């Protein structure tokens, strides 16, 4: 197991910053996900931890040991690459066994345990060139799991797996990490995958850390507009609004509906840089009724209905604004129905439009 600390880590390629002053602390035994779109700096960060790239500045500590100048083999780190990185002239069995032979470890037992776990027992005698993309991806994961290093690094390891196997491997990777207790860092552009597998999520964009917290906090209390819309499926509804006050009450006014924010008026006043704001509300927090339930409800029409198993996604039209809601599949709403909407007032988010910072 390993504790990992990154201090002001920066890396540039041809004058372009890939990782920008990244500081991060990962506790022993945690499973952390670096989440972000392509170009966020996730892979570069992993490669610097592994010793495959040298940082331009900053420090990398593994178990309180500064490892900047240590060779990759001296860091006791195992990494799964998105590009497989298999030996094409060796059979799958030997690809899995290679890291163990170098360390004089118990070979056959570990290889077969990992092969059974990853469902690749039947391809142990094949060479990688005769395997499918998904099979090669599983072999690459196996090369990492077969060792027992201080730190696991997984660079988008599930990308080339089919949907069913991807779900299986999410569960298995989490289970393995829990059983062996090793610290693990995982990268993905898929927020559903990040939420499912990680203890904490590091949201990155253009090399910068935007938020680092537990899954619950990143989902429930996003730090910025980018994080708010990245996390969640369907993504958060975001509506342009302005802050207006009348008769002692404060409202977010979208032009076609108003939301009462009187109890948070002082917070908005003190933190907003202008009256231009954004209202954020997640689809599960949009209440949809066939009759008006209170003075805060407002009228809409069902524009699109998208059944998705246990839930149904409704696109609701309010004037020129479309708001998505997630309702049970048993709900009997149909396209064209007139409905009444309400937002859970303790679940809405107010965002400064100029800075894109979430006020609450």
* Residue-level pLDDT at 55: 97
Least confident of 27-36, 49-58, 242-251: 242-251
CA atoms within 13 A on the CB side of 304: 7
Q: What confidence tens digit (pLDDT) does each residue in 168-180 have?
A: 888 878 887 887 7
Contact (CB, 8 A) for 31 and 184: yes
Contact (CB, 8 A) for 277 and 348: no
Cα–Cα dist 279/285, whole Å:
13
Tokens 């949009």 belong to residue: 286
* Residue-level pLDDT at 239: 97
* Residue-level pLDDT at 119: 87
Q: What confidence tens digit (pLDDT) does each residue in 323-355 have?
A: 999 999 999 999 999 999 999 888 999 999 999
Contact (CB, 8 A) for 88 and 31: no
CATH 2.40.50.140 fits 237-352, yes or no: yes
| Residues 127-146, mean pLDDT to the nearest whole number | 89
Contact (CB, 8 A) for 139 and 95: yes
Q: How confident is the model at residue 20 (pLDDT cuts 50, 70, 90)?
A: very high
* Residue-level pLDDT at 117: 83
How many percent of the chain have pLDDT more than 70? 100
* Residue-level pLDDT at 181: 81
pLDDT at 75 over 80: yes
Q: Where in the chain do CATH 3.40.50.300 domains reside?
A: 4-228
| Residues 98-111, mean pLDDT to the nearest whole number | 86
Handedness of CA 5, 8, 13, 17 (dihedral sign): positive
Cα–Cα dist 108/153, whole Å:
23
Q: Where in the chain do CATH 2.40.50.140 domains reside?
A: 237-352
Nearest to 153 by CA among 141, 137, 165: 141
Average pLDDT, the chain: 93
Three-state DSSP class for residue 144: helix
Q: How confident is the model at residue 21 (pLDDT cuts 50, 70, 90)?
A: very high
* Residue-level pLDDT at 296: 82
Q: How confident is the model at residue 49 (pLDDT cuts 50, 70, 90)?
A: very high
* Residue-level pLDDT at 336: 95
Cα–Cα dist 73/301, whole Å:
62
Q: Two tokens at 287?
A: 């209440």
Q: What angle do CA 32, 68, 85 make, to 5 degrees?
A: 60
- The β-bridge relationship of strands 258-260 and 276-281 is unpaired
- The β-bridge relationship of strands 31-35 and 200-205 is parallel
Could you count the other beta carbons within 10 Å of the beta carbon of residue 210? 19
Domain 4-228 in this protein, CATH class: alpha beta
Cα–Cα dist 90/68, whole Å:
32
* Residue-level pLDDT at 210: 98
Q: What angle do CA 25, 29, 30 make, to 5 degrees?
A: 55
Most confident of 6-10, 244-248, 294-298: 6-10
Phi and psi (nearest 5°) for 217? -70, -40
Cα–Cα dist 58/148, whole Å:
28
Q: How confident is the model at residue 182 (pLDDT cuts 50, 70, 90)?
A: confident
Rg for the chain, CA atoms, rounded: 24
Cα–Cα dist 165/173, whole Å:
12
pLDDT at 279 over 90: yes
pLDDT at 308 over 90: no
Cα–Cα dist 21/24, whole Å:
10
Contact (CB, 8 A) for 218 and 211: yes
C-alpha to C-alpha distances, 6 to 12, 25, 68, nearest whole angstrom = 16, 6, 11
């Amino acid at each position: 197991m390993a504790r990992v600390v990154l201090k002001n880590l920066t890396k540039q390629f041809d004058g372009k910053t890939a990782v920008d002053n990244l500081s991060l602390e990962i506790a022993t035994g945690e499973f952390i996900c670096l989440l972000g779109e392509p170009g966020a700096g996730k892979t570069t960060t992993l490669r610097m931890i592994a010793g495959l790239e040298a940082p331009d500045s900053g420090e990398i500590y593994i178990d309180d040991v500064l490892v900047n100048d240590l060779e990759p083999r001296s860091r006791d780190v195992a990494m799964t690459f998105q590009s497989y990185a298999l030996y094409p002239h060796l059979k799958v069995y030997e690809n899995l066994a290679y890291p163990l032979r170098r360390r004089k470890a118990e070979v056959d037992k570990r290889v077969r345990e990992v092969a059974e776990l990853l469902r690749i027992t039947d391809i142990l005698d094949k060479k990688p060139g005769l395997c499918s993309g998904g099979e090669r991806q599983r072999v690459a994961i196996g090369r990492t799991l077969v060792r027992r290093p201080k730190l696991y690094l997984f660079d988008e390891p599930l990308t080339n797996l089919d949907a069913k196997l991807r779900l299986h491997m999410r569960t298995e990777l989490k289970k393995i990490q829990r059983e062996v207790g090793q610290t693990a860092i995982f990268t993905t552009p898929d927020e559903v995958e990040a939420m499912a597998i990680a203890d904490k999520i590091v949201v990155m964009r253009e090399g910068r850390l935007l938020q680092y917290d537990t899954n619950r906090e990143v989902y429930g209390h996003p730090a910025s507009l980018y994080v708010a819309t990245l996390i969640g499926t369907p993504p958060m509804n975001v509506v342009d609004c302005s802050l207006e006050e009348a008769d002692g009450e404060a409202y977010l006014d979208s032009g076609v509906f108003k939301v009462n924010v009187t109890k948070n008026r002082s917070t908005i006043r003190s933190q907003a840089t202008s009256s231009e704001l954004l209202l954020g509300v997640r689809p599960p927090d949009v209440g949809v009724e066939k009759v008006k339930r209170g003075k805060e409800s407002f009228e809409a029409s069902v524009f699109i209905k998208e059944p998705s198993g246990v839930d149904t996604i409704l696109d609701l039209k309010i004037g020129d604004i479309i708001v998505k809601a997630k309702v049970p599949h048993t709900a009997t709403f149909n396209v064209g129905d007139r409905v009444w909407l309400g937002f859970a007032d303790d679940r809405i988010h107010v965002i400064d439009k100029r800075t894109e910072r979430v006020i609450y």
